[in-house]
A and B are shown apart, each in its own frame.
Chain A
């Protein structure tokens, strides 16, 4: 837990790199003659545990980055953020030749979510690793019977049994809350309506139904989401292959369009916060 000081809040968290030699690190977000703790050299890494927008105005900004205990501060203009990439799971395609391959979007998406949840670490039980769509499907058949359709909670039960992964299934969460969940370090399986996708993102031309995708992260520069569509296997020309950055507006539109969701809300099954 951060000890918030000087109007600090938990935001812009991450690792930052000092730009220049002789950068003063201070005990408070103000320029004073008696609060320099040390001088840092270019390239020094600083872990930001809190941010204040109420420090001394420097170069047009009052933003300072502070340590978790609020005892060390650097002005935002003297550092650059080191990009933090969350764990990226192995892409799993649903078209794997198995019996239910073209109805297997949910198990395939949950295979990727389970991989993210565990950050690729094998639970070392008697099931396979890494997670596969067919192993999850076989578990679903064993528990719920031989049928095409699968639900988020059913897949949650299956990945708990197979990989010790406990997903958080939530319904009709506001889009802004979903965005916070992704930004703060969770992955998610999201039901979407496939018919709204433009050709560039369409991995099954002519299909216009419910589908599940796995969402791994959000890019801060443009707000796009890294989406793993299990149908995007590049099986022929014109079919996208592997994870793609989807504009936030597109993912929201597709998730809103899934039948049964309230206006402005989506369903999602969230991994734990892995970051």
Chain B
């Protein structure tokens, strides 16, 4: 018999994404990723030829 108050297993993190398209669409629709952070820096590479 399992104990009455067994601890729930921790939720899986980094679980494999089964439906990439659905996951991508969900993240793209999430408002929290649309806000430009204060720390955002422009690209000013001035690379070396």
Contacts and interface: CB of A to CB of B under 8 A. Distances in A.
Given A10-B19, A177-B23, A180-B27, A102 B45 contact: yes
B46 A148 contact: yes
A105 B37 CA distance: 21
Given A11-B19, A177-B24, A180-B24, A207 B48 contact: yes
Given A177-B23, A180-B17, A170 B47 contact: no
Given A151-B43, A205-B48, A183 B20 contact: yes
A150 B48 contact: no
A172 B37 CA distance: 9
Interface in A250-275: 258-260, 267, 270, 273
A171 B45 contact: no
Contact of A11 (B18, B35, B46): B18
B5 interface: no
A210 B43 contact: yes
A77 interface: no
B43 A177 contact: no
Interface of B: 14, 17-24, 27-28, 33-37, 39-49
Contacts of A11: 18-20
Nearest to A106: B43
A175 to B, nearest CB: 10
Contacts of A168: 28
Nearest to A211: B45
Contacts of A95: 49
A171 B48 contact: no
A212 B28 contact: no
Given A105-B43, A211-B43, A171 B35 contact: yes
Nearest to B23: A180
A9 B22 CA distance: 11
Nearest to B29: A168
A207 to B, nearest CB: 5
B24 to A, nearest CB: 4
Contacts of B14: 176
Nearest to B17: A180
Interface stretch (A37-45, A112-120, A184-192): A184-192
B21 A185 contact: yes
A170 to B, nearest CB: 4
